[in-house]
């Protein structure tokens, strides 16, 4: 109706309506999902198996390997991920002349080795939680250490570590925003550029919705996996 009152909270400057503005900036912010999701998927695919390997090395009877892995995990967990990204991208050329990685591979390397360290500690705790009788039973059946880990221990470990793995996975989704320091056009960098261009913080709300939607999807996925692989004790 002509002349009807429109509340101020649904209007932006220059007469632009809030909903129209949000719909207008969604495609731009969605473009950043390509970088965000690529980093997320590649990191998960590579860091999970690497974390399992590191966990087994952390528990290996070979003392030098065990101590080296403990020191590596301490270093990765004890320093900020942002610092690791900056070191790989800006610091490596000073250590190795002529070695300058592009932004995307540098980010992937930093994320994979950082999150592999966290997953390693999660899997280490899961492996140590398995009763020693499981190992002895497998040994009686003539199974090697490798066969024991693959067919007896790891299937039980995966069931037990799903909650902490889910937590780290959600943290990874949010940490992908750190790549903005390499001028990569992820969700956060595009959002910030829109805010600086339009002098309006609505884009932050839209970006938050993107993250919340994907967090909800991941949460439901891990809830399904936990229910599917739940350990029922009589």
Chain-centroid distance, C-alpha 88 = 18
Cα→Cα distances 95→90, 110, 123, 182, 223, Å: 10, 16, 33, 19, 45
- Residue 234: the pLDDT is 39
User: What are the residue boundaries of the structural domains of the chain, listed by start?
Assistant: 8-228
The answer to whether the CB of 155 falls within 8 A of the CB of 52 is no
* Of 5-19, 21-35, 58-72, 149-163, the least confident: 5-19
CATH number of 8-228: 1.10.3720.10
Longest dimension (CA), the chain: 86
What distance in Å separates the CA atoms of residue 35 and residue 49, rounded to the nearest whole number? 22
Count the Cβ atoms, other than its own, within 10 Å of residue 214: 18
What distance in Å separates the CA atoms of residue 201 and residue 130, rounded to the nearest whole number? 50
Question: Angle of helix 18-31 relative to helix 33-58, nearest 10 degrees?
Answer: 50
What distance in Å separates the CA atoms of residue 4 and residue 196, rounded to the nearest whole number? 32
Examine the pLDDT at 4 and tell me if it is beyond 60: no
What distance in Å separates the CA atoms of residue 165 and residue 22, rounded to the nearest whole number? 34
What distance in Å separates the CA atoms of residue 52 and residue 193, rounded to the nearest whole number? 39
What distance in Å separates the CA atoms of residue 31 and residue 159, rounded to the nearest whole number? 35
Examine the pLDDT at 229 and tell me if it is beyond 80: no
For the segment 133-162, what is each residue's pLDDT rounded down to a tens digit?
Answer: 877 787 888 887 778 877 788 888 888 899
Model confidence at 232, in pLDDT bands (50, 70, 90)?
very low
b/e code 28-42 from CB counts within 10 Å (16+ = b): ebeebeebbeebbee
Please, which residues have CB within 8 angstroms of residue 71's CB and are 6 or more apart in sequence? none
The pTM (predicted TM-score) of the whole model is: 0.85
Cα→Cα distances 214→102, 107, 191, Å: 27, 21, 17
What distance in Å separates the CA atoms of residue 5 and residue 13, rounded to the nearest whole number? 16
Model confidence at 35, in pLDDT bands (50, 70, 90)?
very high
The H helix count followed by the E strand count for the chain is: 11, 0
What percentage of residues in the chain have a pLDDT greater than 90?
51
């Amino acid at each position: 109706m002509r002349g009807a009152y429109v509340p101020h909270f649904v209007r932006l400057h220059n007469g632009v309506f809030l909903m129209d503005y949000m719909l207008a900036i969604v495609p731009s912010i969605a473009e950043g999902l390509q970088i965000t999701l690529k980093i997320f998927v590649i990191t998960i695919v590579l860091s999970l198996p690497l974390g399992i390997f590191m966990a087994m090395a952390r528990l290996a009877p070979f003392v030098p390997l065990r101590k080296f892995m403990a020191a590596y995990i301490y270093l990765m967990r004890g320093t900020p991920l942002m610092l690791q990204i900056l070191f790989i991208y800006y610091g490596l050329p000073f250590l190795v002349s002529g070695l300058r990685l592009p932004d995307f591979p540098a980010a992937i390397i930093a994320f994979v080795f950082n999150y592999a360290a966290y997953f390693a500690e999660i899997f280490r705790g899961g492996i140590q939680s398995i009763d020693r009788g499981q190992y002895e039973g497998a040994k009686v059946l003539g199974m090697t250490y490798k066969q024991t880990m693959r067919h007896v221990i790891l299937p039980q470990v995966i069931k037990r570590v799903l909650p902490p793995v889910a937590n780290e996975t959600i943290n990874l989704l949010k940490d992908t925003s750190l790549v903005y320091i390499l001028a990569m056009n992820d969700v956060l960098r595009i959002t910030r550029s829109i805010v600086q261009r339009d002098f309006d913080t609505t884009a932050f709300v839209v970006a938050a919705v993107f993250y919340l939607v994907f967090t909800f999807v991941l949460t439901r996925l891990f809830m399904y996996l936990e229910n599917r692989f739940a350990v029922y004790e009589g």
